[in-house]
Amino acid sequence: MTMVDKHDTEWWKTGTIYQIYPRSFMDSDGDGIGDLKGIESRLDHLTYLGVDAVWISPFYPSPMKDFGYDVSDYTGIDPVFGNLDDFESLLAAIHARGLKLLLDFVPCHSSDQHPWFQASRSSRDDPKRDWYIWRDPKPDGSPPTNWIAEFGGSAWTLDEATGQYYYHAFLPEQPSINWLNPDARAAMLDVLQTWFDRGVDGFRVDAVENAVVNPEGGDNPPNPNWQGEGGPPRSLLGTHTKYQAETFEIAREMRRLGRTYHPEKVFVGEAYGTIEEVIRFYGDDHDGFHLPFNFLLIGAEWNPLVIASLVDAYEAALPAGAWPNWVLGNHDRARIASASRAGRAQAPVAAMMLLTLRGTPTIYQGEELGMENVEIPPERVVDPWEINLPGQGHGRDPVRTPLAWEEAPHGGFTTGEPWLPVDLRSEVTVSVLRRDPGSILNLHRDLLALRHREPALTLGDYRTVSVDDAVFAYERNYGDSRIGVALNFSDQPRPAVFEGEVLLSTEGDEATDDLRPNEGRVVRLI
């Protein structure tokens, strides 16, 4: 019985989250940009897959300088995505299917077009001046510190009219909100409350390690280990700009608010950092985020020894009772099926690992289709990161291309001209993949069905059994139920590791003694 209860009340432990990037999921009105009605029209896909919750990237009013991560009204809907009625209808449809809905909260910055920032910049005496982070220039007129923005350039922009600089962790059009100001903080918490009252089940919290900067902070020191990776922003340490102590207090406040609802609202935190930094977001005694995203595998070398050591390090670092989670991709990072990551042949192994490690998995839309990075012709590049720092591999357009639903013009995504090109290969098209029992789509479906059937795969313990340069093998145990997972990262046959009933193989039903090249297996151990 306890198991059933758990399933009801703690869906975020046993369930799987599916990330929708709304511009690229489904377009209903032919403007080439996905929208809320489009999402609602394709909910069958999620039910077919068997995921439990949906997180939708921002669809709030936005000048779209950072494609919705520059919000000009936190409680509205951008007309490109629809309106509040469309939202209510979508939420009802999602709930009617027994799914949960998480939205995306962008706490660290608004758009420069947000009325709050317009007021803040209007004069030094405006009541909202302190809702953003303002400082005087250095005596020579230059920016107050050496802080570098994530998308390149100084993190300070001069407001000529009032003679001060404002801070922005990302684009100049994304001024950072001052969470140390109690009124700004209250206004941001009100935003959460508005959406909770509308019925959403929780939030993914954007870029939260940047929520607070040291108000007295001087220059950030150089990063002694920097070799060019990550671009200029990584050339400095985040001493005054990231993971400030107060940031964790903000996570606690969000959780406290979420706890005033029944069932409590769920928070997934987005923060890139060391394991130690990221797990601090769990809080003390579970008073922080339910699931601070674990990005250890999102850029890891696709090598079983490396991956197993990251899994072990994460398992060992988790505080008692903290629930783990795993992510292989999102709208910011190279797709897992791309050659630079696991690659096409290994994508099924990656999916099996994501859905059988201990912890809540998040699937980024298109992973279940084996989508790869799509090459974007230079004239179609729209991501500001690529535009500001061209040719350094930061561009995110290749991982944000629309889904192909049918063998139709633009994959049936739109009747118009899509905002980014659609990958029209039939092997990434939903309708084609559905018909093929051995497709990566049906593998995801089978894996998710297995997770729903086998508590060992959701609630069970984790133990690494063996790893070498080809095969990573682990066990998941729950009571008497023991399940082994063996993943062959190589293109050679390898010994099977586990004996028992094969519950699922990435290579289909036919049983073989050895693991086949690129095969992953889930085995019931006796």
Give the active site residue among 206, 367, 386, 397: 206
Residue from 40, 52, 270, 383 carrying the catalytic annotation: 270
Q: Determine whether 367 is an active site residue.
A: no
E strands present in 7-116: 17-20, 53-56, 100-105
* 173 scored as a contact of ligand GLC (CB under 6 A): no
Measured from the CB of residue 400, what is the shortest distance to ligand GLC in angstroms? 9
DSSP secondary structure code for residue 220 in this structure: P
Specify which residues 362 forms β-bridges with: 17, 327
Chain residue at closest Cβ approach to ligand GLC: 69
Per CB under 6 A, 165 contacts ligand GLC: no
Sign of CA pseudo-dihedral 352, 357, 362, 364: negative
Q: Dig out the tokens for 264 from the structure.
A: 């409590």
Q: Which of residues 30-69 bind ligand GLC (CB under 6 A)?
A: 66, 69
Q: Note if 206 is an active site residue.
A: yes
**Considering beta carbons, is residue 71 or 322 the nearer one to ligand GLC?**
71
Task: Mention every residue, 6+ apart, whose C-beta is less than 8 A from residue 320.
Answer: none
Nearest residue to 425 (alpha-carbon basis) of 446, 440, 415, 447: 440
Task: Please tell me whether residue 206 binds ligand GLC under the rule CB under 6 A.
Answer: yes
> Please, are residues 77 and 61 in contact by the beta-carbon 8 Å criterion?
yes
The count of residues interacting with ligand GLC (CB under 6 A) is 9
Please state the closest distance from residue 265 (CB atom) to Mg ion, in A.
29
The residue among 354 and 399 lying less far from ligand GLC, judged by its C-beta, is 399
Residue 17 sits in the site that holds ligand GLC (CB under 6 A)? no
* Strand extents, DSSP E, 383-469: 461-467
x-or-dash string of contact with ligand GLC, 487-516, rule CB under 6 A: ------------------------------
3-state DSSP call for residue 428?
Answer: helix
What whole-number distance in Å separates Cα of residue 68 and Cα of residue 54? Answer: 18
Instruction: Give me the phi and psi of 251, to 5 degrees please.
Output: -60, -40
Q: Which of 170, 195, 405, 462 binds ligand GLC (CB under 6 A)?
A: 170
CB closer to ligand GLC, 238 vs 304: 238
Cβ contact 181:133 at 8 Å: no
Query: Nearer Cβ to Mg ion, position 27 or 383?
Result: 27
Applying CB under 5 A, which residues contact Mg ion? 27, 29, 31, 33, 35
Which of 434, 466, 449 lies closest to 503, judged by CA? 449
Pick the binder of ligand GLC from 27, 86, 209, 332 (CB under 6 A).
332
User: Which residues are designated catalytic?
Assistant: 206, 270
Query: Contact positions toward ligand GLC, by CB under 6 A?
Result: 66, 69, 106, 170, 206-207, 270, 331-332
